[in-house]
Amino acid sequence: MNKLLLLTLFFSYTLRAETVPLPTSVLGVDDITQEVKGSFTTKISALGKNYITRVSNQAAIYTSHETVSCNGIISQPGEPLAKIQYASKQNNQEIIEKGTYSGCNGEVFLVEDVVSRGANLSPLPMKDFLEGKRTIDLKDNEVYRLYKLSNGEGEEIFKVLVERTQTGKSINYFFAEQKILSMIYEYKTSSTRLSITYYGYSVNYNFKRSKWRYNYNFTPYSNIVMASTSAEDSVIYLGQNNNRLSLSAFIVAFNESVMKYTIAAIASIMEDHILFFPKTETTQTGAQSQRFLEELRIAQNRLLNNMELNLVKNLLQEYVNAAEKGLIIDNRPKN
């Protein structure tokens, strides 16, 4: 282990977690990452409900008892429709994990890479991997995490780099190798300070028959959130000129700069990639319930963080309309 890692490990134990938590209006790295891969996690769960699953040698293979048409390919009963492979290797204070996702034709269309550094590390159990139970944020014994999603040709879609610093931690987010967001946390005994910097970008991303072009260029600017144990001004939001912001103004700035366009765009790309998996509408109850639960989870997250409330309102209206048409059946007991 080099001196830099030893030094970083030292600070990881002296700065185990923030003394003063930030308000729920500030999304954490797991919240943001889940917005990107939420539909993907749901799809993996739906595969297990819709198809016969065999797990062995760190791989899950999905088959059907009947003939299935998938992306123009006819698969006979028992033939692999999709495959998910998990591999890990560990040396010294580092674990390298890789998830490889293959679709209907056996071709790899998505790769998930995770590199973690710290002390007393252990790889993610296969069961948790298949259920998407992965934490991107650092644990107390960790000092570094790289999380990356790439297509089957090795082109990067989304990446998060989390590193322990002498005073806290830094988190950088990337879209097709371009930095889109930086979040620097500084912890003190009686306060926590978060500096958020937004970056513009120009992305051209092509995969198979699909093309995406995004031009969202602007001069980088920052917001600051400070939380303290002081009874007065326990939470302060600052704009790019250190002007005081209201909670609402901060949420609007964060959503407009990151969530509404950029994270939504990456999530859209992910949704296109999972089309290489077989359809999961064949067993309506499992797939639809999972979709319903995922929508409720996202809505709850938005409510807790007071963000994009208009989307929550629209979703509730969709449920009302669907219920009126008899598309949602309530089987809950009356008592």
For residue 28, the model assigns a pLDDT of 92
Indicate the helix (H) or strand (E) that contains 128: helix 126-130
Question: Is residue 99 helix, strand or coil?
Answer: strand
Q: State pTM to two decimals.
A: 0.81
Across-strand partners of 193? 186, 226
Domain boundaries along the sequence of the chain: 3-324
Per-residue pLDDT of the chain (335 residues; tens, 9 = 90+): 454 444 444 444 444 455 788 988 898 999 899 889 888 888 888 898 889 999 988 999 999 999 988 878 888 899 999 999 999 999 889 999 999 999 988 889 999 999 999 999 999 999 889 888 899 999 999 999 999 999 999 999 999 999 999 999 999 999 999 999 999 999 998 999 999 999 999 999 998 888 999 999 999 999 999 999 875 678 999 998 889 999 889 988 998 899 988 999 999 999 899 889 998 863 444 445 556 777 777 777 677 656 666 677 777 877 776 765 566 666 666 54
User: For tokens 């590199």, what's the residue?
Assistant: 115
For residue 330, the model assigns a pLDDT of 66
Across-strand partners of 113? 98, 148
Name 259's Cβ contacts closer than 8 Å, sequence gap at least 6: 27, 32, 35, 307, 308
DSSP string, 155-202: -EEEEEEEEE-SSEEEEEEEETTEEEEEEEEEE-SSEEEEEEEE--EE
For residue 332, the model assigns a pLDDT of 63
For residue 312, the model assigns a pLDDT of 77
For residue 260, the model assigns a pLDDT of 86
Specify the DSSP class assigned to residue 255.
I
For residue 287, the model assigns a pLDDT of 43
